[in-house]
């Protein structure tokens, strides 16, 4: 196991340089160079054709919609758009890409020199964008047999080319300096912002748990006061917001321990393990190892300035303006909004409000009960298994007094267990509150008879003793009672 330095000690001794390369799968109907569908899943090797299988004699054609999406992403990140650029072949032994080269862009990216502001704890950090370029995704390898699902120890490997050739955008930052102890948090906030931006642009589902969006996070350390960049490591394909934060925190602590013991950091790629550590991958190739050359099968891309300006007019509200507007519209305090942002819940709450819930109710469920469940399951909030529409439905049931908050938690259990929508779970599990006063009165009278001491206390003015009686009624009703009505009936009966 790696030695780790205490995080605060590491940050007292070293400054960080952060770099993030984010791959985003576009949601175009067809692939980057052929007409095959990009639909997720499907029987293996059914979304394929001679082009995405790399068969001899097949020729790629650029997907115009993908270029449009790439330009809109670039513009939203305040990039300049190239007047003319080419694709490049990146040569490698790719078992999951039958051409054994990836069509990408090298020294002529479509979008370059952008920037975007990220907010953490009320402070704004500007992230400079080096480039946004177009490329294609690889297929999927499944290693069968063996304990870990990795190639080591596997009996054999299966290949599914359905994803091969899906349009992929690579968004690369310039080195971000001076973040200090905030480095992992800023990286996470940047990913969260990119995710929301991709969805607002409508160019990607940006679901990290499906691999629609994944991050190569690199970081290096340099002694405080030094301006010479240290040796970096790159943790590959990190696929959740919390993992981005976790991987960077781990690498900072690990590298600090190496440097603190007088050692040297090895330049390499690393893998993130969800238990909370990274392990070495391969020593990182240099660009020249890929033998890049201009792609001879594709013509250059030369977007006209008129087209670029037309696309600029389609951009959504910038992230900072959106956040300020929602804070105002929702009537949240700055602190409440900051919590929402830190929980990566802006888009989720927006969708829940759009489905009919009040902003405060949406905030309560997503930042309370559902955040807790997501945390327990180790997944992102938007992958917890309950949709914004279902949360709005749940809140509707609470407001209609069909259920109370305690029962709502049981409804959430049912929805997460796949038992259907909130009303279906209420029906199937019999969770609706008993509003019939007859049944309630029976329970109230039984509670009064069983707790003479509490009754005496209430009568002598110790009104908090009514809590014991309420508890007794709620228990006998299995929680299926409106607490307000129970209190009223108790007060009536005790007099």
The dihedral through the CA atoms of 191, 195, 200, 204 has a sign that is: positive
> Which of Mn ion, Zn ion, none does residue 160 bind (CB under 5 to 8 Å by kind)?
none
Question: Minimum CB separation from Zn ion for residue 103, in Å?
Answer: 13
**Interface with Zn ion includes 36 (CB under 5 A)?**
yes
Number of residues that bind Mn ion (CB under 5 A): 1
Name the residue among 366, 320, 319 with its Cα closest to residue 358. 366
**Interface with Mn ion includes 137 (CB under 5 A)?**
no
> Which of Mn ion, Zn ion, none does residue 49 bind (CB under 5 to 8 Å by kind)?
Zn ion
Distances 73 to 28, 194, 311, 312 between C-alpha atoms, Å: 14, 10, 10, 10
Binding region for Zn ion (CB under 5 A) out of 30-38, 76-84, 265-273, 274-282? 30-38
Write out the two tokens for 231. 């040796």
CB 188 within 8 A of CB 209: no
**Interface with Mn ion includes 170 (CB under 5 A)?**
yes
CB 78 within 8 A of CB 173: no
Number of residues that bind Zn ion (CB under 5 A): 5
Binding region for Zn ion (CB under 5 A) out of 26-34, 184-192, 354-362, 379-387? 26-34
**Interface with Zn ion includes 34 (CB under 5 A)?**
yes
Write out the two tokens for 315. 């951009």
Alpha-carbon torsion, ordered 366, 369, 372, 373, to 10 deg = -90
> Which of Zn ion, Mn ion, none does residue 52 bind (CB under 5 to 8 Å by kind)?
Zn ion
Contact positions with Zn ion (CB under 5 A) in 41-60 = 49, 51-52
Q: What angle do CA 268, 272, 276 make, to 5 degrees?
A: 130
CB closer to Mn ion out of 135 and 380: 135
Question: Minimum CB separation from Zn ion for residue 161, in Å?
Answer: 9
CB closer to Mn ion out of 170 and 245: 170
> Which of Mn ion, Zn ion, none does residue 170 bind (CB under 5 to 8 Å by kind)?
Mn ion
Question: Minimum CB separation from Mn ion for residue 23, in Å?
Answer: 6
Phi-psi map region of 57: left, alpha, beta (phi>0 left; psi -120 to 50 alpha): left
Spatial neighbors of 449 by CB under 8 A, at least 6 apart, are none
Question: Minimum CB separation from Mn ion for residue 22, in Å?
Answer: 10
Write out the two tokens for 309. 């300006």
CB closer to Zn ion out of 35 and 368: 35
Work out whether strand 88-91 and strand 293-294 pair parallel, antiparallel, or are unpaired: antiparallel
Interface ranges with Mn ion (CB under 5 A): 170
Contacts to Zn ion by CB under 5 A: 34, 36, 49, 51-52
């Amino acid at each position: 196991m790696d030695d780790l330095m205490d995080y605060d000690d590491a940050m007292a001794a070293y400054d960080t340089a952060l770099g993030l390369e984010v791959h985003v799968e576009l949601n175009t109907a067809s692939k980057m160079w052929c007409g095959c569908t990009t639909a997720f899943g499907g029987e293996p090797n059914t979304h394929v054709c001679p082009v995405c299988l790399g068969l001899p004699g097949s020729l790629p054609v650029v997907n115009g919609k993908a270029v449009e999406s790439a330009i809109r992403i670039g513009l939203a990140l305040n990039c300049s758009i190239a007047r003319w650029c080419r694709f490049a072949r990146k040569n490698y032994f790719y078992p999951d890409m039958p051409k054994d080269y990836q069509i990408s862009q090298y020294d002529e990216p479509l979008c370059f020199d952008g920037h975007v502001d990220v907010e953490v704890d009320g402070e704004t950090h500007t992230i400079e964008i080096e480039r946004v370029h177009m490329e294609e995704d690889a297929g999927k390898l499944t290693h069968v047999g063996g304990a870990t699902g990795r190639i080591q120890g596997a009996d054999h490997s299966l290949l599914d080319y359905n994803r091969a050739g899906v349009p992929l955008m690579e968004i690369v930052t310039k080195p971000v300096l001076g973040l200090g102890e905030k480095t992992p948090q800023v990286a996470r906030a940047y990913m969260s912002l990119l995710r929301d931006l991709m969805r607002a642009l409508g160019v990607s589902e940006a679901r990290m748990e499906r691999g629609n969006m994944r991050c190569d996070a690199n970081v290096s350390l340099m002694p405080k006061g030094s301006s010479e960049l240290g040796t970096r490591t790159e943790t590959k394909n990190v696929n959740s917001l919390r993992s981005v934060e976790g991987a960077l925190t781990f690498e900072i602590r690990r590298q600090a321990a190496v440097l603190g013991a007088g050692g040297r950091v090895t330049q390499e790629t690393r893998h993130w393990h969800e238990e909370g550590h990274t392990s070495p991958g391969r020593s990182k190739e240099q660009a020249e190892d890929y033998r890049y050359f201009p792609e001879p099968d594709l013509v250059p891309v030369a977007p006209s300035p008129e087209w670029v300006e037309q696309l600029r007019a389609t951009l959504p509200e910038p992230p900072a303006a959106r956040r300020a507007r929602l804070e105002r519209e929702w009537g949240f305090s700055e602190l409440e909004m900051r919590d929402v942002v830190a929980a990566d819940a802006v888009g989720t709450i927006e969708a829940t409000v759009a489905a009919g819930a009040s902003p405060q109710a949406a905030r309560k469920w997503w930042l309370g009960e559902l955040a807790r469940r997501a945390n327990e399951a180790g997944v992102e909030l938007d992958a917890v298994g309950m949709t914004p529409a279902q949360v709005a439905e749940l809140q509707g049931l609470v407001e209609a007094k069909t259920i109370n908050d305690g029962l709502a938690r049981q409804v959430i259990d049912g929805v997460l267990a796949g038992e259907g929508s909130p009303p279906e779970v209420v029906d199937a599990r019999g969770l609706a509150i008993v509003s019939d006063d007859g049944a309630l009165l029976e329970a109230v009278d039984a509670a009064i008879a069983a707790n003479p001491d509490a009754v005496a206390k209430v009568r002598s003015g110790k009104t908090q003793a009514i809590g014991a009686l309420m508890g007794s009624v709620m228990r006998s009703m299995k929680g299926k009672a409106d607490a307000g009505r129970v209190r009223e009936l108790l007060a009536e009966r005790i007099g």
